[in-house]
C-alpha cells in the first residue's frame, strides 16, 4: 500500500513524538542527566552535573536554592570589606557540619558557591574515597583559611586571589573517625616502604574536587601549594575549570 506525502509526514511526526515522550520519561527517572532538573545533593553524578555545579558560581539565588533543597543552611551574612576585597556574597560554611564533618578552625566564612562545592565534594568525592580506602569516614577537615585580601602569590602586582573575595578555601588535612590524620604536606607523595593509602586518598580527593570547584591547585602545581589543596569558585567564561 502506497503512502501519501501527508501520511509519511504524519507518521514521522508520531514517531518523533514517541521518541520525545520516551526521552522525557527517561530524564524524569534520571535527573542527574537532565540539564533542566534542579540539582540536589542526593543525585548521583551525571552528564549534566558539572554544568549545574558551574551554574551555582554565577547565580547566588540558584546556589541558595540548592542548599535549601539539600537541607543545608543558606542564610546570607551582610556584605563586608571594600573595593576589590568587598565580600558581598558571604555565609558561614555549613555544608560540612550538615554532612557530619567539622572544619578547623571553626565557622569559616566564604561564598555560597564554595559551600555548595564543599557539599558536593564531601558527599560524592571525599567520603566515598575514604570509605573505599580506609573503610571509615572523614570527620574533620583542617583548613588554612578562606578570605584574605591579597593578590595571587602575595605580590604587589598581578591578579587578585579568589581569597580576596572569600571565594576559596585551602585544605591542609583530613582526620578519619579513628583519629588518623592525613596531611597534604606530609602524605601527598608515597614514602618508600610505607603504605600508599594516604597519598592515594589525597589524589582521589583532589581529582573529585575538580568536579566541584572552578580551580583546584595541589602540590603537583607548585611549591606554594605543597601544604594544601586550594579550592575556589572563580567565574570563567564557558564554565571551564583548572585542575592541577
Give SS3 for 13.
Answer: helix
Between 204 and 30, residue with greater pLDDT? 204
Question: How many C-beta atoms lie closer than 10 Å to residue 5's C-beta?
Answer: 7
- Give the DSSP H or E segment for 114: helix 112-121
pLDDT at 122 over 90: yes
Cβ neighbours for 190, distance < 8 A, ≥ 6 positions apart: 196, 199
Reported confidence tier of residue 24, pLDDT bands at 50, 70, 90: low
Please, what is the average pLDDT of the chain? Answer: 91
User: What does the pLDDT average to over 90-97?
Assistant: 98
Q: Where are the domains of the chain?
A: 1-34, 46-243
How many whole angstroms separate alpha carbon 211 and alpha carbon 206?
A: 9
How many whole angstroms separate alpha carbon 20 and alpha carbon 121?
A: 33
pLDDT of residue 59: 95
Q: What is the pLDDT of residues 192-232, one digit of tens each?
A: 877 899 999 999 999 999 999 999 999 999 999 999 999 99
In this structure, are residues 201 and 122 in contact, taking their beta carbons and an 8 Å threshold? no
pLDDT of residue 8: 60
Reported confidence tier of residue 238, pLDDT bands at 50, 70, 90: confident
Instruction: Report the candidate in 85, 86, 60, 87 with the shortest Cα–Cα distance to residue 74.
Output: 60
Amino acid at each position: 500500500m502506497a503512502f501519501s506525502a501527508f501520511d509519511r509526514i504524519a507518521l514521522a511526526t508520531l514517531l518523533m513524538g514517541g521518541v520525545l515522550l520516551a526521552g522525557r520519561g527517561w530524564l524524569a527517572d534520571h535527573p542527574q542527566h537532565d540539564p533542566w532538573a534542579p540539582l540536589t545533593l542526593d543525585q548521583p553524578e551525571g552528564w549534566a552535573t558539572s554544568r549545574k555545579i558551574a551554574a551555582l558560581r554565577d547565580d547566588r539565588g540558584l546556589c541558595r536554592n540548592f542548599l535549601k533543597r539539600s537541607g543545608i543552611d543558606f542564610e546570607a551574612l551582610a556584605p563586608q570589606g571594600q573595593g576589590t576585597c568587598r565580600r558581598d556574597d558571604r555565609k558561614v560554611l555549613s555544608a560540612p557540619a550538615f554532612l557530619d564533618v567539622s572544619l578547623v578552625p571553626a565557622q569559616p566564612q566564604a561564598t555560597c558557591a564554595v559551600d555548595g562545592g564543599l557539599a558536593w565534594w564531601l558527599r560524592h568525592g571525599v567520603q566515598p574515597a575514604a570509605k573505599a580506602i580506609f573503610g571509615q569516614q572523614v570527620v574533620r577537615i583542617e583548613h588554612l583559611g578562606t578570605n584574605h585580601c591579597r593578590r595571587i602569590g602575595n605580590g604587589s602586582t598581578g591578579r587578585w586571589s579568589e581569597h580576596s573575595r572569600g571565594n576559596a578555601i585551602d585544605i591542609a588535612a583530613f582526620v578519619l573517625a579513628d583519629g588518623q590524620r592525613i596531611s597534604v604536606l606530609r602524605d601527598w607523595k608515597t614514602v618508600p616502604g610505607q603504605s600508599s593509602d594516604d597519598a592515594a586518598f589525597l589524589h582521589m580527593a583532589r581529582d573529585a574536587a575538580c568536579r566541584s570547584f572552578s580551580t583546584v591547585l595541589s602540590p603537583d602545581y607548585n611549591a606554594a601549594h605543597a601544604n594544601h589543596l586550594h579550592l575556589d569558585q572563580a567565574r570563567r567564561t564557558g564554565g571551564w575549570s583548572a585542575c592541577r
